[in-house]
Amino acid sequence: MQVSAQYGHRDRGRDRERVVVVKEVPGHHRVVAYQGVTYHYADGRYYRPVNGGYERLSAPPAGITVNFVPNGYKIRMHKGVRYYYRGDVCYREVRPHAYVVTTRPW
């Protein structure tokens, strides 16, 4: 992955979110398609293509389904449902080896 990155900001009401765009994602990334967008996952981060580079996302979109949970995840039961989470990203298994990203229910 190239070290150089472009930085910008995106307004979210009163908060401003830092936008990081890299030229390449790590070579060992996983690819996940969702709603016509090809997302990439590597080293605990999600990326999406933008302007000839890749925007590093603070979290993947809710609703995206992946066939993995990240290394270092934790498990939490809530109302009889098992959730897997790492950092601010929460996953719920919807069928064997299929996990949907969801907002934390607790």
Predicted TM-score (pTM) of this structure = 0.79
CB of 63 closer than 8 Å to CB of 93 = no
Q: Domains in the chain: how many in total?
A: 2
Q: What is the mean pLDDT of the chain?
A: 89
Q: Are residues 73 and 53 in the same domain?
A: no
Confidence band for 30, pLDDT divided at 50, 70 and 90:
very high
Same domain assignment for residues 50 and 69: no
Assess contact for 40 and 30: CB atoms under 8 A. Answer: yes
**Chosen domain end from 57, 77, 92:** 57
Considering the domain architecture, whether residues 48 and 11 belong to the same structural domain is answered as yes
Map residue 24 onto helix, strand or coil: coil
Token look-up 């603070």 returns: 58
In a shared domain, residues 21 and 47: yes
Range of the domain at 51: 5-57
Residues 81 and 45 both lie in one domain: no
User: What are the Cα distances from residue 45, in Å, to 34, 71, 78?
Assistant: 16, 11, 25
Residues 52 and 70 in one domain: no
Closest by CA position to 104, among listed 82, 89, 87 = 89
**All residues at 6 or more sequence positions from 64 whose CB lies less than 8 Å from its CB, including other chains:** 32, 34, 39, 100, 101
Q: What is the pLDDT of residues 63-105, one digit of tens each?
A: 999 999 999 999 999 999 999 999 999 999 999 999 999 999 9
53, 69: one domain: no
